[in-house]
Chains A and B, each alone.
Chain A
Amino acid sequence: MRCFSMQLPKGKKHNWQGAAAVLTLAAVLAGTLYAFFYLRHDPTLTNMSGRLQGMSLKHPLGTDHLGRDVLTRLFLGGQQTIGSSFLALLAALAIGIPSGLIAGFKRGWVDRVFMRIADGFLAFPDTIVAIVLSGLLGPGIGNLVLAIVMVKWVSYARLVRSTVLSESQKEYVLIARINGLSARKIMCKHLFPHIAGNVLVLASLDLGKIILLISSLSYIGLGAQPPTPEWGAMLNDARPYFQSMPALMIYPGLAIVLVVLLANMLGDYLYDRFDVKRRGSHDFIR
């Protein structure tokens, strides 16, 4: 890390934002984990006599239209939303990075085949793919993740490929080849660290988009199915009670806004820290 990222100068705009984003994201994750291990209420247990309650000590954020504890559902919903976003992101990275590396490094027909496949995937907008997939395979969070992976891996593959194309012309790659290193070693040890920063930046900026996508598709009923708690689905559940109990919509809505905002702040911070343009020359170190 020491060498291909850099310390930001003090007072740089995104410095505090990065710290804040990391801390809050960590807190949210810790909260969801806590809720997972220490459940005070069953998130799916309905209690029709205690529906639509306001705040109380027993239910800090009240209960929803089926008498379920909102706070518990909010945390577990976060676990669903953030968890499946991370899953989608990791899967997209796991497909995109190797294919980009191989396409960029091998060039020739391998590159052409990979990129035509990528272009094919790129032709479909993410929402359309998600709707088509849930039409074909049935709605569910798993199929939603699959749809997002299908669309998102392309951007990573393209980013990695373009960086590898320019980097593999440089002499250190030539030297590594000349010294008898295998293609796999060169890709993993000499090229990948170069692109890791860029990929991390893109991934953190994408995280917010994916969270938004998952919750919006769950909102229209393509993602998590009831009674599974999920922020988008919770918004949808709360819709009929918008006028009598607006808090039911505000909590998951706020949660989505907060997490997406934090993910974007983290992305901005990482973008500054792994500033690609300045990394080319090592002037800032000398």
Chain B
Amino acid sequence: MILSVEQVTIGSRQKKLVQNVSLAIQKGEWFALVGQSGSGKSILSQAVGQMLAPGLNVEGNIFFNGQNVLKLSKKEMRTVRGRKLSYIFQDYQGSFTPFRTIGQHLDEYQKAHGLHSPQARMAGVREALQSVGLSEELASCYPFQLSGGQLQRVSIAMALLLAPDLVIADEITTALDSVSGNQILELLARRQQETGCAILFITHDWRHVRRYADRIAVMKEGEIIESGGKHRILDHPQHPYTKQLIKAAPVLKHGLPSGLQEEGKA
């Protein structure tokens, strides 16, 4: 068990944004968290890394690798962030400090986690860029010189730089066109196979869920209304809201929503 969220409630004084949510992510699996905008998906994912905005309180327990992250000190948290747990965000433009090169970004994060030899860090930068199919020369480029797809590739390289146990991918394809989006997900899936990390994949796009997810949880208004294996959720949804969501994303091919072919119809 990589991540176990137990009875977590998040909210400010006025309003509860996430209510009594529990979920568990196994080692190396692709866990999709699906829901409309504003359903609390991102808030929940931010709570895992203690990244919530000030003013939001968390109740409950979040165990990451057996440690309760909500009880860790700031300093201990810094050793977890980036090293064991990393994030990829939707906004690839905003994810990079504009006046630092790609190489400087990658270098800095290795340095922050105790890689002191510059040669080793340089090698790490090169390897990271190659692993996502980019040329090494991009290391000396500034973020605005790269295209959206390239930037999102660098984000993936950055997230996987120190071989974390869990990557939280928060709507990473939303700002990309569908071709680049698919390439990014292919890449993420390939890198997941290579590194064996678990992925918490936050999305509202059923196509991606259908193709990549192992397990799914559906969130609505701060609560998880249904969760289970991909085929169970997609082919036999229990909750009316899940049914509604699946119906709203029709499949062109014959067969079940999860992509399985029904017997005799293939």
Contacts and interface: CB of A to CB of B under 8 A. Distances in A.
A172 B99 contact: no
Contact of B81 (A3, A107, A177): A177
Contact of A170 (B81, B94, B158): B94
B97 A179 contact: no
A190 B97 contact: yes
B94 A172 contact: yes
Interface residues of A, number: 24
Interface string B142-160: 1010000000000000100
A26 interface: no
B100 A180 contact: no
B78 A172 contact: no
Interface in B137-179: 142, 144, 158
Nearest to A106: B54
Interface in B104-161: 108-109, 112-113, 142, 144, 158
Interface stretch (A129-137, A181-189, A229-237, A252-260): A181-189
A91 to B, nearest CB: 27
A282 interface: yes
Contacts of B97: 172, 176, 189-190, 193
A185 B112 contact: yes
Nearest to B92: A171
A194 B99 CA distance: 8
B98 A177 contact: no
The dominant DSSP class at the B interface is: loop
B82 A4 contact: no
Interface stretch (B23-31, B58-66, B83-91): B83-91
Contacts of A193: 97, 99
A108 B55 CA distance: 9
A181 B95 contact: no
A107 B54 CA distance: 9
B42 to A, nearest CB: 11
A180 B82 contact: yes
Given A108-B54, A174-B51, A177-B51, A189 B108 contact: yes
B89 A180 contact: no
Interface residues of B, number: 27
A4 B87 contact: no
B200 to A, nearest CB: 13
Given A171-B91, A171-B94, A171-B95, A180 B54 contact: no
Contacts of A179: 81-82, 86, 109, 112, 158
B154 to A, nearest CB: 11
B49 interface: yes
A203 to B, nearest CB: 19
A39 interface: no
Contact of B89 (A108, A175, A189): A175
Contact of B108 (A171, A181, A285, A286): A181
Contacts of B79: 180
B140 to A, nearest CB: 12
Contacts of A185: 108, 112
Q: Which of A175, A177, A189, A282 has the most CB of B within 10 A?
A: A175
A55 to B, nearest CB: 52
Contacts of A171: 89, 91, 94-95
Given A3-B142, A4-B99, A190-B97, A175 B87 contact: yes
B112 A180 contact: yes
B96 interface: yes
Contact of A178 (B54, B81, B144): B81
B100 A4 contact: no
Nearest to B96: A172
16 contacts: A107-B54, A171-B91, A171-B95, A172-B94, A172-B98, A174-B87, A176-B97, A177-B81, A178-B49, A179-B82, A180-B83, A180-B112, A180-B113, A182-B112, A189-B108, A285-B144
Q: Which 4 A-B pairs have the closest CB atoms?
A: A180-B82, A179-B82, A171-B94, A180-B81
Interface of A: 3-4, 107-108, 170-172, 174-182, 185, 189-190, 193-194, 282, 285-286
Given A179-B82, A180-B81, A282-B98, 17 more contacts: A4-B98, A171-B89, A171-B95, A174-B87, A175-B95, A176-B97, A177-B51, A177-B81, A178-B49, A178-B86, A180-B83, A185-B112, A189-B108, A190-B100, A193-B99, A194-B99, A285-B144
Interface of B: 49, 51, 54, 78-83, 86-87, 89, 91, 94-100, 108-109, 112-113, 142, 144, 158
